[in-house]
Amino acid sequence: MLKITPYLGILVLIVSIGGLWYPALGYFMLLIFAAIFLISPFRGRWFCGNLCPRGSFVDFWVSKISRKKKIPDTVRSLWVRVPVFFLLMGFMGYRIANILGSLNTFEKIGMVFVTMCLVTTAIAFLLGTYLSPRTWCSFCPMGTAQRLIGGKRYPLKLTKEKCINCGKCDKVCPMQLKVREEGKKPDCIKCGRCVNACPKNALQF
C-alpha cells in the first residue's frame, strides 16, 4: 500500500457527512470513478487497496471494532455482485435523470452522490463491524467493475520453491483470499500486505 493509504479514510467521512451541508462535495465521487476506470484496465483492483477512501476507512478505522468473522462466500458470487451493481448504478442514474433541468440542478446532483456515498458507507460500516472490515468490498459495485475490467492484470505471483507454507500471507489478506492457492485472484486488491508478511520473499506482483 501507499504511505498515504491509512489517512484516506477521512475523505469518505468528509463527503458523507460534510456533503449534507455542502452537496458540491459529492462531485468528489466523479474523481473516484475516473480514477477507477483509468487504473483498472492496467492494475485490476489496485485502487481498492491503495487509494480507496472507504477501503482505508474500513481497514484502519472499522477494523478496530470488527468481529473479524469469515466473509460469506455468497456475497463474493457474481450472481449477487452484478445485480447489486446494476441496482445501485440504475438507482443513481434514475435520480439524476429526474433532477436534470430542475432548479439548483448542480447541488441536487451533488446530493445524489453524497447520499450514495453515505448509504454505502453505512452499509460498509455495519457489515465491517458485524463480520469483517472488507465485507462490503467483496461485492462493492466499483470493485466488481474493476474485477470485470482488469481482474487478470498485475497478478500476484508465488515462487513455490521459496514458500514454507507458514500461512502468514493468508492471515493478513484483508479480502480473506487464499493467497497460496494456484490460479488467478481477480479480487486481489494489490495492497501488498501478503508480500510484506512473507518471511521468505516468495510473493511478488
Query: What is the pTM assigned to this prediction?
Result: 0.92
For residue 42, the model assigns a pLDDT of: 96
Lowest mean pLDDT segment, chosen from 17-26, 74-83, 94-103 = 94-103
For residue 19, the model assigns a pLDDT of: 97
Q: Examine the pLDDT at 114 and tell me if it is beyond 90.
A: yes
Q: For the chain, what are the domain ranges?
A: 5-150
Distance between first and last Cα of the chain: 12
Q: Examine the pLDDT at 101 and tell me if it is beyond 90.
A: no
Cβ–Cβ contacts within 10 Å for residue 128, how many?
26
Q: Examine the pLDDT at 61 and tell me if it is beyond 90.
A: yes
pLDDT in tens, 154-185: 999 999 999 999 999 999 999 999 999 988 89
Task: Report the distance separating Cα 111 and Cα 105, nearest Å.
Answer: 10
For residue 16, the model assigns a pLDDT of: 95
Q: Examine the pLDDT at 18 and tell me if it is beyond 90.
A: yes
Give the mean model confidence (pLDDT) for residues 137-158: 95
Task: Report the distance separating Cα 12 and Cα 201, nearest Å.
Answer: 34
- Total length of the chain: 205
Contact 176, 132 (CB under 8 A): yes
Which candidate, 191, 194, 204, places its Cα nearest to that of 50?
Answer: 191
Give the mean model confidence (pLDDT) for residues 123-144: 97
Q: Which helix (H) or strand (E) holds 85?
A: helix 78-99
Give the mean model confidence (pLDDT) for residues 60-72: 96
Task: Report the distance separating Cα 37 and Cα 104, nearest Å.
Answer: 29
User: How many Cα atoms are found within 13 Å in the side-chain-facing hemisphere of 128?
Assistant: 25
Q: Examine the pLDDT at 1 and tell me if it is beyond 90.
A: no
Question: Confidence band (pLDDT; 50, 70, 90) for 25?
Answer: very high
CA distances from 53 to 61, 66, 80 (A): 11, 18, 23
Task: Report the distance separating Cα 105 and Cα 47, nearest Å.
Answer: 30
Give the mean model confidence (pLDDT) for residues 112-130: 97
* Average pLDDT along the chain: 95
Task: Report the distance separating Cα 88 and Cα 140, nearest Å.
Answer: 10
Q: Is the dihedral of CA 162, 164, 168, 173 positive or negative?
A: positive
For residue 103, the model assigns a pLDDT of: 84
93, 97, 103, 104: CA torsion to nearest 10: 20
pLDDT in tens, 38-57: 999 999 999 999 999 999 99
Crossing angle of helices 105-130/28-43, nearest 10°? 60
